[in-house]
Amino acid sequence: MLQINPEKVRHIIAEARIFDGKEANSDPDSGSNPTDDMAADVLEDTPDDPTMQELAEFIRSLDEDEPIHLVALAWVGRGTYSVSEWDEAVADARRAHNKRTAEYLFSLPMLGDYLEEGLALVENAEDEEEDNEEDEEGDG
């Protein structure tokens, strides 16, 4: 079912949570130093944010099918598709796939939460599928 290593997804979740915690630039012309601002600027979302750049590079380095499954996981996690519609989610993600997957994922306001929820649902479905197969083998 899942064509991306869950550890890669967990890494993306951790990085996305850092990115999700950022806020719009509330003081674009700040002339003060970070100590005076209690380093509040570190929480601001800027185009040259190293966390976002690292995460984008990581997503772009994934194998061909992995970003497609990452998008499908996000869609399942936000409820666009149910886990029983996984194949449809993957097919739609494949049709929508382009070189801007990272940017698309960054546009999702709760990316880390969506990926975590999607991963949990898919892993639970895979576990149930394995349990059913074991039960059928034991009955036969």
Residue type, 38: M
Listed by start position, the domains of the chain span 6-23+36-139
Below-70 pLDDT ranges, the chain: 21-48, 139-140
Q: For 94-126, what is each residue's pLDDT tens digit?
A: 999 999 999 999 999 899 999 999 999 999 999
**What pLDDT is recorded for position 28?**
56
Cα angle value 77/132/119 (rounded, 5°): 15
Query: Closest by alpha carbon to 68, among 108, 24, 102?
Result: 102
**What pLDDT is recorded for position 129?**
85
**What pLDDT is recorded for position 100?**
93
**Is 0.85 topped by the overall pTM?**
no
